[in-house]
Structures are given as structure tokens and as C-alpha cells.
């Protein structure tokens, strides 16, 4: 055999061996059953993140814009009314806001029906309703709901609060015009996942404080991010302990980067460094009555584990207590943003919110955001259903059942909630 062919085979084998070893060495929770899948997803995250960074050196574009290009290159092509399906999928607009709608032909003449309005995730910088076709088609097909997913503007092209404003505008218009879609305006569910879950929670708070429109019947929040004031909750600590600062999955650095681009339209290194290190909020603020909603004592003991360390906010040997610490200046500049319910719904008005369904995952920095929201909602007298999937990870609901069974269980539980509670 030609020596060049043998050389190529040897190099390819060595590369394959290195990749396999890298995947095998990616740490996972001992009790997590889908280790190979998780490691493959993690590797995909590392490759996507690295590719986006390298592309920036070539094309000079913002990291998140390149990240969007990389991730969306793997997104499925939009399906428009698949042949043989009862569900029709097409585009429309709610008061000028683009949406992707799903309608079930079998329920066309069966009177008014519920609606499921969905806001996709993606850290405010990536994502599309198309990615969720499987989930949204299932809801439409099995329950006969009218389903609509909102195309909101992404950062850095549009900064905070544009995404919130557009989603609120779309929801307000839909609630006022629900009958045009054969929808019962008193049976509308607002939902979202990850960053979309944050926007959905904030939109619901705004809707509940808007007179003369029907209140949403329920809100469904899938592994949502609900605050950016404490990035040292037990779930943040656990993920950092497992993976350090590597970018394979959503971590404190990636989230801080996305947040910076969403708020300022660029990567502000000072902001990213402070937020990811959790030094952006002074201790005196952390001790305040308002931030008691983030008290780690609200998180049940079983969610803490051996890697958890309680926060030290009593001023002992903490540099944040010096007046010249840069974190204090940053807090003065950003506190109005970080405390705004449109960004941190955990800081908003939690009274008299609708029936709430919250999904959290075992491997996810945002797990405790969902737990804290549930605890505070229950204190406010809101009916809450919390579903925790210890064998799942962030973003899992978009995975088909042929890849990971936990996604199927999650979808079935959601369908059951919608059928029984709406």
C-alpha cells in the first residue's frame, strides 16, 4: 500500500483516538445515565464555541453573530405543512411581530380552543422557532391547541429590552384578537425555554398588570434563567466544579458573555469578568431584604450536594466591601438593569400570577433559578407545579425520543399538565 495512504490512515486513526479520549474524559455526574450522549453534546458545544471564536479573527464579526451562524447551520430546514400531517405550519404576524403558527385541521370546526404561545431560548443571541417544530407540533397535534412561536429580534443587532418589548406586543395583540384564531382568550398559555423562559416570565408579569385584557391561563417555563444577581447558587457551583471554565455547555462565562451582548450590544470584558466571578453585586445589597428571594436556604438540601459552599456575605475578608473595588462602580452602573423585572423576573411582582409549570434539569447552571422561582411563587400564593428531571441537561426538550428517553418523559408530562390544567 502506498506510504502516503498509510500515513493518512495513521493520522486519521490518531485524531479519532484523541477525540474519543477527549469525549471519554469529559466529566459527568455519577448518576447520570446518558454519559455518552452528554459528552457528545458537550464536544459539539466546545467545537461550536471554538469555531465561532476563530471565525471572528477572520471576518471581524461579533462572537455571538458567528456563534449564531455555526449553530443555525445545523438547524433543520423549516417544515411547511408536512404531507399527511394534521398540523399546518406557516408564518404570520401579530401586530407586526413575526410568528410561526401551528394549526390542527382536525379541530378546525370544534369551537374555541386553547392557545400555546412559545418564546424560544438561545441566550438572547441565537435560536429560532424552527428548532422547536417537534415539540410544538406535538402539542398542536395531540391537544388541538393553536400554537404560535415568536420570532423576536436577537442581540447584538437589538439590545435589551427589545426582545421583551416585541414579545409583549405580540402577546397583547393576540390576547385582544384571540377569537380571530378560534382561540378562547381565557385559555392562553405563555411559555418559553431558557432565555425564552425568562422573557415569558417577564411578559406574564407585565400582562397581569395590564388592565382590560384577559390574564394568561398559565405559564410554562422550561429550565429558565430568572435572575442575573447570583451566579454562585448550588447549581452554578456544581457545574463549575465539574467543568471549570470550559465552554462545552452553558456555564457562568458563556452566560455572562451572552448577557453582556444582550445588554450592551458587545462583549464588555469588565462586565463579563465581574458577573462570571459573581463580584458584580456588593455584599450589602446581597444582604438586603429584596435579595432574600435568592437566599440559598430556600433551595432544598438534596439539591446542594458535597460541592456546595454557602456564600460569605458578612463582610469578612471580602474585597467587595472596599469602596474602590471595581465591582461597586459596576453595580452603580448596572443595578437598574439587573433588578429590572424585564430581565430578572425573580425580582418582579409575583402576586396573583397564573398557574405556573416549571421544568428544571439535573445538569444545568439554571436549575436553582427555577427552584427559587417556585419557592417564591408559592410564598406569594401562586399555584405551582415543579417538575425536576435529574437525568436531564439544559436544552434537552428539543432532542427527539430516539436520541434520549428523558426528552419523551418531559414532553409527556407537559402534555398532561396542559390537558388537565388548561
Residues designated catalytic: 194, 364, 394
The CA-based diameter of the chain, rounded to the nearest angstrom, is 80
Q: How far apart are CA 292 and CA 286, in angstroms?
A: 8
Take residue 102 and report the three cell numbers written for it: 401551528
Q: Exposure of 85 by Cβ count < 10 A (0-12 exposed, 13-18 middle, 19+ buried)?
A: middle
Take residue 68 and report the three cell numbers written for it: 449564531
SS (H, E, C) the chain: CCHHHHHHHHHHHHHHHHHHHHHHHCCCCCCCCCHHHHHHHHHHHHHHHHHHHHHHHHHCCCHHHHHHHHHHCCCCCCCCCCCCCCEEEEEEEECCEEEEEEEEHHHCCCCCEEEEEEECCCCCCCCCHHHHHHHHHHHHHHHCCEEEEECCCCCCCCCCCHHHHHHHHHHHHHHHCHHHHCEEEEEEEEEEECHHHHHHHHHHHHHHCCCCCCCCCEEEEECCCCCCCCCCCHHHHHHHHHHCCCCCCCCHHHHHHHHHHHHHCCCCHHHHHHHHHCCCCCHHHHCCCHHHHHCHHHCCHHHCCCCCCCCCCCCCCCHHHCCCCHHHHHHHHHHHHHCCCCCCHHHCCCCCCCEEEEEEEEECCCHHHHHHHHHHHHHCCCCEEEEEEEEEECCHHHCCCCCCHHHHHHHHHHHHHHHHHC
Q: Exposure of 92 by Cβ count < 10 A (0-12 exposed, 13-18 middle, 19+ buried)?
A: exposed
Whether 40 and 94 have beta carbons less than 8 Å apart is answered as no
Amino acid at each position: 500500500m502506498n506510504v502516503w495512504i498509510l500515513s493518512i490512515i495513521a493520522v486519521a486513526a490518531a485524531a479519532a483516538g484523541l477525540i474519543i479520549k477527549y469525549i471519554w474524559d469529559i466529566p459527568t455526574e455519577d448518576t447520570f445515565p446518558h454519559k455518552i450522549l452528554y459528552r457528545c453534546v458537550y464536544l459539539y458545544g466546545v467545537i461550536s464555541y471554538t469555531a465561532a471564536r476563530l471565525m471572528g479573527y477572520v471576518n471581524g464579526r461579533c462572537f455571538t453573530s458567528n456563534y449564531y451562524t455555526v449553530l443555525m447551520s445545523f438547524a433543520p430546514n423549516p417544515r411547511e405543512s408536512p404531507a399527511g400531517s394534521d398540523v399546518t405550519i406557516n408564518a404570520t404576524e401579530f401586530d407586526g411581530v413575526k410568528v410561526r403558527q401551528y394549526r390542527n385541521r382536525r379541530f378546525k370546526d370544534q369551537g374555541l380552543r386553547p392557545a400555546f404561545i412559545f418564546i424560544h431560548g438561545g441566550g438572547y443571541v441565537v435560536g429560532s422557532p424552527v428548532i422547536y417544530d417537534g415539540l410544538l407540533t406535538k402539542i398542536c397535534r395531540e391537544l388541538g391547541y393553536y400554537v404560535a412561536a415568536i420570532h423576536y429580534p436577537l442581540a447584538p443587532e437589538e439590545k435589551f429590552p427589545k426582545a421583551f418589548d416585541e414579545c409583549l406586543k405580540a402577546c397583547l395583540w393576540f390576547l385582544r384578537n384571540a377569537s380571530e384564531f378560534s382561540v378562547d382568550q381565557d385559555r392562553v398559555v405563555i411559555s418559553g425555554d431558557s432565555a425564552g423562559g425568562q422573557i415569558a416570565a417577564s411578559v406574564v408579569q407585565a400582562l397581569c398588570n395590564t388592565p382590560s385584557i384577559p390574564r394568561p391561563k398559565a405559564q410554562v417555563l422550561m429550565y429558565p434563567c430568572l435572575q442575573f444577581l447570583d451566579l454562585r447558587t448550588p447549581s452554578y457551583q456544581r457545574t463549575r466544579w465539574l467543568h471549570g471554565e470550559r465552554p462545552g455547555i452553558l456555564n457562568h462565562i458563556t452566560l455572562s458573555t451572552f448577557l453582556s451582548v444582550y445588554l450592551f450590544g458587545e462583549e464588555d470584558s469588565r462586565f463579563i469578568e465581574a458577573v462570571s466571578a459573581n463580584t458584580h453585586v456588593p455584599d450589602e445589597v446581597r444582604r438586603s431584604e429584596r435579595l432574600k428571594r435568592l437566599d440559598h436556604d430556600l433551595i432544598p438540601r438534596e439539591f446542594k450536594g458535597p460541592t456546595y459552599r454557602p456564600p460569605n456575605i458578612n463582610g469578612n475578608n471580602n474585597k467587595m466591601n472596599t469602596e474602590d473595588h471595581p465591582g461597586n462602580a459596576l453595580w452603580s452602573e448596572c443595578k437598574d438593569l439587573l433588578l429590572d423585572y424585564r430581565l430578572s423576573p425573580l425580582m418582579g411582582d409575583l402576586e396573583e400570577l397564573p398557574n405556573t409549570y416549571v421544568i428544571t434539569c439535573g445538569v444545568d447552571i439554571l436549575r436553582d433559578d427555577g427552584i427559587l422561582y417556585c419557592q417564591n411563587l408559592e410564598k406569594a400564593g401562586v399555584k405551582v407545579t415543579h417538575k425536576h428531571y435529574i437525568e436531564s441537561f439544559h436544552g434537552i426538550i428539543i432532542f427527539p425520543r430516539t436520541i434520549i428517553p428523558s426528552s419523551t418523559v418531559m414532553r409527556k408530562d407537559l402534555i398532561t399538565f396542559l390537558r388537565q390544567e388548561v
